[in-house]
A and B are shown apart, each in its own frame.
Chain A
Amino acid sequence: MSRSFVPRRSVLRGALGAGALAAAAGPLAACAPGSSGSEPRKLTGTPSASAKGEITIWNRSGDLFKVFDAAIDAFRKAYPDVKVNHQAVDIDAKLANTLISGTDLPDGSFWDDAKIGGQVEHLYDLTDLIAPYRDKTSAYKLSVNTVGGRIYGVPWDLDPGLLWYREDLLEDAGVDPAGLKTYDDLLAAARSLREKNPKARPLHMEKDPFLGQLWLEMLAGQQGTSLADADGQVRLDSKEYRNILNWVRDAVDDDLVTHTEYLKQADLAALENGQQALVPWAVWWSFAPQQLLKKGKGKWRAAPLPAWTPGGARSGAMGGSSFIIPAKAKNPELAWLLYEFLCFKEPGYSAVYGPSEVYPGGLTTSVPSYGPARRPDKPLFEPVAALGGQDLWKVAVDAADTIPSAAPIPAWWAKSVDYLGNNLQRLIEGKMAPDDVIDDSTKKIQRNLVDRA
């Protein structure tokens, strides 16, 4: 049998050729990462009522998707020639990559405020379209959607922080909830509760680093500051953050804290058995008494947060979302038409927040960002039976009105949890001092995130 041999030298030559080919392909590939920076596109024209066409809108799955589905039905009735493909998508996993790649984009999507600032070059500039509604929209929501003076998200939900408390336990301890006007009052109330029940650790402090940092930002936002300023520079080293961290340390030193993860089993147990009675948290905590707490159902109430200084703001925002329109959307005008309907038109926002098949009493986990939709005398959702029939709407919208404006949330915010979020946990565990939290977090955020942004 005869065999033909390929000489060793030829093989090497071939391999080198292949290597050279690949090396040559490299620079070509390097052109793939956007060889030129794209300028944000402006959306200025509004379509008429006789608008026609088809749009794809992304939303999160779950109950909220069903609520929006019903609201989009109301839009279809108002604009029968616009076909809306409402899709449930894992937005956190998919949207950023889709915006970057520019393929299979939706015409619009729901998105966390914290993520918008980092992707503005892939989004439509909506400043001109929002202009007629600007004065009546929450200053906080506008500020977190503004980058370089331009607005890139249509402000949707506003999530005011409230003080959730067990009315029965406060009454037993002789604490008047109306008297909880400052954070010092809150500490005093916690001490009274513990005097009444030595096992009580009345104040909730969050064990999950991400939620803990979100909570910290709510308390900072209440004082008109945030982790980064408008230029994206860290401003943790401030009187406002020291106020919060010193207050946390005092609560920990006095053994007033239940340190658990948000609505996990240990947290629920401490809420049910009376160990926890004071939870400063966003309006979306209303979900707990309505769906998770059994023994405590009907005993919890909501009040505005205490102020950091007498007469100061009684709330800060904790989380929140907006709508964005990708710069490469096929029908951006129609997407805007939908968002305008949902956010700024009465039939739209009523369909979302009002009673629905999913939430018969209405959606109580946030309030609208748009002022006229947030009137105390025109509640969109009903009093909550699980809160003893309390008019949560009034408490929430009154608190929302006091939230100061902030700065855009930097693209690196979520990553800063590795530093600030973790150090906050160390503080709550008594392993770090407030000044060390500030110094260490500032240094690491600056080096690892700001300098490399």
Chain B
Amino acid sequence: MTSGTLTPPRKERAAPDAPRPTRSRRKPFLAPYLFVAPFYIVFAAFGLYPLVFALQLSFTDWKGAGRANFIGLENYTYLLTSEEFWSSLGNSAVMWLLIVPLQIVGGLAAAVLLANARLRLRGMFRVAFIAPFVTPLVAMAQVWIVAFDTDYGLVNHLFNLVGLPDIDWLQSTVWAKPTLALLFLWKTTGFAIIILLAGLQAVPGDVYEAADLDGASRKRQFWSLTLPLVRRSIAFLVVVQTLAVFQMFAEPFVVTQGGPYGSTTTGGLYLYNHILASDLGTGAANSFLLVLLVFALSLLSVRLLRSRDE
């Protein structure tokens, strides 16, 4: 950051013979409101109103038709005492553990490699990493279904070639979550690499030159320079991916429909199931509980980052 002198704007007195301000000049305060009004109108209509409406809905038993009866906290108590609700959060938590640490470590390793100017075919690698991120998820989910089919899938075929037995990738409660996590990783790691690469490229080169002069090894430079300097990017990724994992919907919806036995019913899919069953009150309550959870997790990540800064 460059430093300089900041001079406060000098207050100039109006010359005594200045012309009297007109009516429009006397009341200029309306103009800014008019300029920002479109945003507030759109925000109120499509942001605030649905939010307030959903909050209100969460205290009713509305099923999409007929009268919406006020039932107090019943939807919330139902969910908080529901085995399926906690199971869906548990599934999301396991997914988080399978995805986020691996993605951060793998994404950072890939970003460090891609940031190296001496790497050959760097452009090709960048495209290869980013390509899944821009590929339609539903198309890839279909590929996953075929590739991980127990009887006819490519993956089991390759396993058989090296003498390994068939695995029920999508139909066993043990393997369905890792298989979905792999799809999520494949799809979104490109995004993680973009963020981390941007973080790495923002680190000034002279920092490494100074470290070289001080005799720091590459390993030492990574742990003492690279990692602390991209910490903000990592924290950003953790927050964004935590939101994405807890709201994960399309992957289980297309590939496993939440099965087997609800083992891939994530928080997002469980919420959708209420909406699908026209149980809109419970769906709304579920969405607010998810919002609270995700908000708490995000806050935790931000706090962790801030405490390190201080």
Contact = CB atoms under 8 A, between A and B. Distances in A.
Interface of A: 4, 6, 14, 18-19, 21-23, 25-27, 29-30, 33-38, 96-97, 100, 118-119, 121-122, 207, 209, 265-266, 269, 412, 415, 418, 422, 425-426, 448, 452
Given A269-B151, A426-B261, A22 B68 contact: no
A265 B152 CA distance: 8
Given A35-B67, A412-B277, A265 B151 contact: yes
A118 B279 CA distance: 12
Contacts of B64: 33, 97, 100
Interface string B256-285: 000111100000000001000111101000
A209 B278 contact: no
Given A100-B65, A122-B65, A22 B44 contact: yes
30 contacts: A4-B29, A4-B32, A6-B29, A21-B44, A22-B48, A23-B52, A25-B52, A26-B49, A26-B52, A26-B55, A29-B53, A29-B56, A30-B53, A34-B66, A34-B67, A36-B67, A96-B278, A100-B65, A100-B278, A265-B151, A269-B151, A412-B277, A415-B277, A418-B84, A418-B273, A422-B259, A422-B261, A425-B261, A448-B82, A452-B279
A100 B33 CA distance: 39
Contacts of B152: 265-266
Given A22-B48, A22-B49, A448-B82, A27 B56 contact: yes
- Chain A to chain B: the 3 pairs with minimum beta-carbon distance, closest first: A33-B68, A26-B52, A22-B48
A4 B49 CA distance: 30
Contact of B84 (A37, A207, A448): A448
A173 to B, nearest CB: 26
Contacts of A122: 65
A307 B276 CA distance: 37
B150 interface: yes
B188 interface: no
A22 B279 CA distance: 24
Contacts of A34: 65-68
A35 B28 CA distance: 45
A342 B69 CA distance: 41
A33 B67 contact: yes
Contacts of B49: 22, 25-26, 29
B65 A418 contact: no
A330 to B, nearest CB: 20
Nearest to A423: B261
Interface of B: 28-29, 32-33, 40, 44, 48-49, 52-53, 55-57, 60-62, 64-68, 78, 82, 84, 149-152, 171, 259-262, 273, 277-280, 282
Given A29-B53, A448-B84, A452-B282, A266 B150 contact: yes
For B53, B57, B62, B260, which residue has the most chain A Cβ atoms within 10 angstroms? Answer: B53
B48 A33 contact: no
Contacts of A418: 84, 262, 273
A209 B258 CA distance: 12
A425 B172 CA distance: 12
Contacts of A425: 260-261
A27 B171 CA distance: 46
Nearest to B258: A418
Contacts of A415: 273, 277
A445 to B, nearest CB: 12
B67 A30 contact: no
A22 B82 CA distance: 32
Contact of A30 (B68, B171, B282): B68
Given A33-B68, A452-B78, A19 B48 contact: yes
A21 B259 CA distance: 43
Contacts of A37: 66-67
B261 to A, nearest CB: 5
